[in-house]
Structure 1
Amino acid sequence: MSDSTENLMVVPSKKQKNNYQPNLITESRQMFTALEKNIVVMIINQLTIRYFEKSQPLFPNQNVEFLIPFAELSKSRNYSEIERAAKSLQLKQQGFAFTNEKGERYFKYMIPFPLVENLMSKGKMCLKITMFSGAVPYYTELGKTWTSYDYEVMRSLGSLYSKRVYEILMSHYRSDTFTYEVDHLRHILNVPETFKYFDFTRKCLDVANSEIKEKTGIEFTYEPVKKEGKRVTRLKFTKKTPLSQIESEVDASREYIQKMPIGEAVALAWQWFAGYTLNEAQKAAITDSSDKLETFLRIHTEVASGKRKNVKNATAYMVKSLGIENVKVKRKETTPKSTTPRRTGTPKAISSIIGTMSLFQPEE
């Protein structure tokens, strides 16, 4: 039991429309059932709210406790089902793995929710869940890449594969196409080893595609792009998103960007600068102005999502939109020595390097 209420979060004190989670969570292997996944989704929603309100790293080296009324978990008040989920949730493992540029493989496996119990609070039977302090950073440090998805849509999806594929689709919402190694995709979706390729596509991908299309309008196709003999080893996914969904996601991203701590917004801008040919003075003009920084992040999101169409030259479009076409690196004169002719030189550009906590990157 915690001696403080600071790390006790009651669900649902508030609800955030969209959940935000690190891509590391999206790409992790999750062994939850559909009901357990809904519990985790509710927990992430509360962490998202706390992140926006506090604008700082959450709960350093602390376990975090969540209080969830049974009524929030089961409309039919099926308490035996909730008890079964509670019993198995505290045993479920989550795995993170990646291979670095040197080919060295690293991994971490943990049980995020080691303690689950029920108790009566204000006349309501509740589930009290303790989140392991070592797992908290993996769920709260958004860093440079994150997944945003609609909270209610996620909860409404019935199939566990639909929930997981929906997460993956939303992590790639800026791209219409993306690829996955079949073995990696099966691994993170926790597909039974007994499933052949046909079972995997029919019972996992096709079921998810049908339900996601029904609930959101988003649909996808997939095709083999690499084989080893007759064995399909890589799939290419093509995603089709209705304009209304694009606008919804752009609005959600705008809301997130507006609430983002300034240091994290600057770090994100530096990451996205890689897609443009900007000089150092233009970069500085963007990061030194909160208005230009917010505009840069917003325009980038709208272009990347497809809301702004027919952008042929992203750099030219961006600098014109920001009014920084004529911003150039200033040449600085050096102080001349009395015995030498006066000359000028170009100083070395100095960039502010802002890092974010990078725990693990998803395996390619």
Structure 2
Amino acid sequence: MQQNPEDQLAPLFTKRPTNYQPNLFTESKQEFTELEKKIVVLVVNQIGHMTLKGELQEKANVVFSIPFSELTRDHHKQIADAAESLQSKRLIYRNDAKGKFDFITPFPRVRSEVIDGKRVIELTMFADVVPHFAELGQRYTKYDIDVMLSLSSVYAQRMFEIVSMYHNRGQREFSYSVDRLMMMLNCPSRYTFNDFKKNALEVAQRELQQKANLYLEWSAAKKVGKKIIELAFIVKTPQQLAAEAVSQDQRTVNNMSINEAYTTAWQLMKNYKLKGFQKDRILSDHSLLDTFFRIDSELANGVRQNVKNPTAYLVKSLGIDQLKDPKPKTKPESKTVQSTLSLFPEGPTLRTGSVKSIGAIFGDMIMNE
């Protein structure tokens, strides 16, 4: 079979860091396996950038060449098997409410070639299929290709696309009917909701947390009797989780009595190399004490990162880095008297000797009373 002279050859493969694809494609039903999906992701990488540069020719088939080396180092048979099965896989757009459907085979021809000594997969996309991958419009899906290629579950791959679509809109919350989402993820028709949750959602949740640093949570949005028919999703980043933890710590502090706050602060100060007079200064000023709690929580929860010297950072943030040690007016009468003044020479009496978070310390105090 000879190549059609009207076919457009995609430029020599160069992997770009970001993929761009239409939202319609993101929300379609895709029959790809995880390895087939990775081949498609690399094609999307090429066609998305051709679209942005205005390089696509109208009404022309497009031929893409994807190096085997982008997918594997030595498992060429697996790639060949995936390429063979990819030729028959479909995209499905279906809207039963409107009585519309569109079944598309994106790559009717897939073959292997050797270009410049490199083995490649050559994929031909027919002209009438190209718009399904290329028409970005005002709203489109954008994601990091290396994160996508690192995902080993097709459910994680698809949820990453969906999450990225909403992220690009500035949305962190979204919802889908269970039936529609199961269709989009190409779940087996035999799946119950528990199967869907265990084999698709929870697998995607773990991978997105481990490899994309995204925390995906969901809850029932609608029910018919006991049956869940719609799910609401929330996506959080580590920064958002850290900020929430700081807010929770602040609420805990706000509910403390002043004595409880002093005791908790003294315990937390063990995490730093503060001098006695610095501790006294913090404890004697309610504004400084409140700032101490906030900065300590931000450091502990990772809001303030790459801090090499927490003590120096803390005293600088509190504005006590230039504070001098007050000298005693008279010489100490005994060697047992400390040279550094302190409101609490031995520290407040604590009920626990362990260093814990504010919430944990306060909880222990209540339990022991």
Query: Which one of the candidate residues 79, 99, 117 is aligned to 1:123?
Result: 117
> In the TM superposition, what whole-angstrom CA distance separates every residue of 1:204-263 from its partner, at most 9, and x where no partner exists?
11111111111121111111121112211000111102459xxxxxxxxxxxxxxxxxxx
Shift of 1:59: 2.8
Query: Which one of the candidate residues 194, 197, 203 is aligned to 1:201?
Result: 197
Residue 157 of structure 1 corresponds to 151
Residue 37 of structure 2 corresponds to 37
Shift of 1:78: 1.3
Residues in 2 aligned to 1:11 and 1:228: alpha-carbon distance in whole angstroms: 53
Q: Is the 8 A contact 2:6 2:61 kept in 1?
A: no
Query: Which one of the candidate residues 80, 84, 88 is aligned to 1:87?
Result: 84
1:148 aligned onto 2:142:
yes
Residue 8 of structure 1 corresponds to 9
> Which amino acid in the other structure matches residue 57 of structure 2?
F
User: Is the alpha carbon distance of 1:104 and 1:6 closer, same or farther for their aligned partners in structure 2, counting shifts above 3 Å?
Assistant: closer
Q: Is the 8 A contact 1:10 1:68 kept in 2?
A: no
Residues in 1 aligned to 2:88 and 2:77: alpha-carbon distance in whole angstroms: 18
CA RMSD of aligned residues (A): 1.9
Residue 60 of structure 1 corresponds to 58
Residues in 2 aligned to 1:47 and 1:82: alpha-carbon distance in whole angstroms: 21
Q: Identity, % of aligned pairs? A: 38
Q: Is the 8 A contact 1:11 1:69 kept in 2?
A: no
Shift of 1:19: 0.6
Shift of 1:4: 5.0
Residues in 1 aligned to 2:129 and 2:239: alpha-carbon distance in whole angstroms: 36
> Which amino acid in the other structure matches residue 35 of structure 2?
L
1:166 aligned onto 2:163:
no
Which ranges of structure 2 fall in alignment gaps of 5 or more residues? 241-369
Residue 333 of structure 1 corresponds to none
1:71 aligned onto 2:69:
yes
Give the structure-2-normalised TM-score. 0.61
SS at match of 1:203: helix
SS at match of 1:220: strand
Residues in 1 aligned to 2:39 and 2:172: alpha-carbon distance in whole angstroms: 30
> In the TM superposition, what whole-angstrom CA distance separates every residue of 1:147-187 from its partner, at most 9, and x where no partner exists?
11101110111111000000011111111211100000000
Residues in 1 aligned to 2:81 and 2:142: alpha-carbon distance in whole angstroms: 29
SS at match of 1:195: coil
Residue 179 of structure 1 corresponds to 175
Shift of 1:52: 2.5
Residue 137 of structure 1 corresponds to 131
Q: Is the 8 A contact 2:30 2:90 kept in 1?
A: yes
> Which amino acid in the other structure matches residue 213 of structure 1?
Q
> Which amino acid in the other structure matches residue 92 of structure 1?
K
Q: Is the 8 A contact 1:16 1:48 kept in 2?
A: no
Residues in 1 aligned to 2:36 and 2:11: alpha-carbon distance in whole angstroms: 17
Shift of 1:71: 1.6
Residue 23 of structure 1 corresponds to 23
Q: Is the 8 A contact 1:59 1:136 kept in 2?
A: no
| Larger relative contact order (CA 8 Å, sep ≥ 6) | 1
Shift of 1:10: 4.8
Shift of 1:11: 5.3
Residues in 2 aligned to 1:23 and 1:243: alpha-carbon distance in whole angstroms: 27
Shift of 1:6: 7.1
23-32 or 213-222: bigger deviation: 213-222
